[in-house]
Structure 1
Amino acid sequence: MEAKPTKKEKYIRQLKPYLPAGFEEMVAELLLSHPVRFAITNPRATKLGDYRAPQQGETFHRISVNGNLNPYNFLITTLHEFAHLRVYLQFGFRIKPHGEEWKSEFRKLLWPAIQTGLLPKDIEIALMSSLTNMKASSCTDTQLSRVLRQYDKREGGEIVLEEIPKNATFVLQGKTFVKGELRRTRFLCTEVPSKRQFLIHSLATVQLLENIHER
């Protein structure tokens, strides 16, 4: 009779389609060593992953990661959310979400992944830079995001917002916009036809339309 698979083996099998080869055991160990419910979700426009501390009466933390991420982005997003979990176990809500304590935990989780030698060289270099130059005010690392985006599988006609010209017309989540000025890491875009303005991340994946906006 075939032996019943262990919990770790089940996790490895479930994670394999989403992670780069060789990292399944690393993430499975994180799941086994923390009181967490881990969910792979449908794409969300506003976030790649999410961490939720236990609510009153609960014992489990909750982590969710978008299932449409490329394997490297899925791995790094998962480690990002586990850093939140580990910081909460130590400090609760007494600290900033992406303060020095979180950065320290994120570094501890990233370093073993880098040391495996299994990551593409450009991602490894971007991660090393991120480890040493994390901004005090934010966890956003545009350069790392830009490198990770190169491994996305894009559908026909999809392009990154920063790659299209100003005043170009594009579609995002079924809505049509005209690209405007850059505001730090986001572009101020005008929805057609409502003329409402939205700040859209420069690395958002959009569909470029024929430019119908008057320049």
Structure 2
Amino acid sequence: MSIETLKSYLPENALSFLKIWFADYPIHIKITRNRNSKLGDYRKMPDQSHQITINSTLEPDLFFFVLTHELAHLIAFEKFGRRISAHGNEWKTTFAQMILESLDIYPQDLQLILKRFSKSPKANFMSSSDLVRYFHFDQLKDDEVFMESLQIGDRFMYREDAYKVEEKRKKLYLCINSTNAKKYLFKPLAKVQKV
């Protein structure tokens, strides 16, 4: 992929950071169709080059954030060796430094969220309720709510099954399935339909 093609997916002024971060590495970036299971992916190829895939449907700020996440894998593995944990301390430190280094390209309200996030980066941005709200809040359908907006005893639908909120456990919600009486844990930002 040419740098000009990549530029069309990025926020303004992001390219200068990528030129620094890409510097010494042979990288192939593939823009993919939307994948529900992941936003991006990093792999070291058999020929020792690096491949990063990123969903084409991401808005520029999220695209750059995901690309930074994946590049942090490459840089951490190259700097500390292949035996480090994929989302261990070396990756967290690398990712946090890259976020803070490039902070000015993001809108001010997102900068505040990213500063907090960089103190302890998560492997999956879905684990950061602030980031999920920032990037996805307006994508709720008319009949959807986030799990965190429900109260104990509320009933809701999730994937055509009915549930009742039993209790909140730290950050997760323990819920009982109305059909089979099994208990399930839901994340605060799971999208459900309140009934």
Alignment pair present for 1:145 and 2:129: yes
CA contact (8 A) 2:126 2:132 kept: no
CA contact (8 A) 1:80 1:106 kept: yes
Q: Which amino acid is the alignment partner of residue 73 of structure 1?
A: L
Q: Root-mean-square deviation (CA), in Å?
A: 3.4
Q: Which residue of 1 aligns with 2:148?
A: 162
Alignment pair present for 1:9 and 2:1: no
Do the aligned partners of residues 150 and 91 (structure 1) sit closer, same or farther apart at CA in structure 2, a change above 3 Å counting?
Answer: closer
Alignment pair present for 1:99 and 2:88: yes
Report the alpha carbon displacement of residue 186 of structure 1 after superposing the two structures with TM: 2.5
Alignment pair present for 1:78 and 2:61: no
Q: Which amino acid is the alignment partner of residue 193 of structure 1?
A: T
Report the alpha carbon displacement of residue 192 of structure 1 after superposing the two structures with TM: 4.2
Identity of aligned residues (%): 24
Separation (CA, whole Å) in 1 of partners of 2:111 and 2:65: 11
Equivalent pairs counted in the alignment come to 191
Superimposed CA distance per residue, residues 71-123 of structure 1 (whole angstroms, 9 cap, x where no aligned partner): 4333322211221122122334322223331122112321232133xx23232
Q: Which amino acid is the alignment partner of residue 146 of structure 2?
A: V
Q: Which amino acid is the alignment partner of residue 4 of structure 2?
A: E
Superimposed CA distance per residue, residues 122-154 of structure 1 (whole angstroms, 9 cap, x where no aligned partner): 3211222233x327xx55678953254134232
Of 115, 127, 131, the residue aligned with 2:114 is 127
Unaligned runs of 5+ in 2: none
Q: Which amino acid is the alignment partner of residue 15 of structure 2?
A: E
Separation (CA, whole Å) in 2 of partners of 1:105 and 1:63: 17
Superimposed CA distance per residue, residues 174-205 of structure 1 (whole angstroms, 9 cap, x where no aligned partner): 5544334333332233344233333322122x
**What SS does the corresponding residue of 2:102 show, helix, strand or coil?**
helix
Separation (CA, whole Å) in 2 of partners of 1:162 and 1:148: 13
Separation (CA, whole Å) in 2 of partners of 1:76 and 1:60: 22
Alignment pair present for 1:51 and 2:42: yes
Unaligned runs of 5+ in 1: 1-5, 211-215
Separation (CA, whole Å) in 2 of partners of 1:127 and 1:8: 25
Separation (CA, whole Å) in 2 of partners of 1:173 and 1:67: 26
**Taking structure 2 as the reference length, what is the TM-score of the superposition?**
0.73
Separation (CA, whole Å) in 2 of partners of 1:37 and 1:159: 35
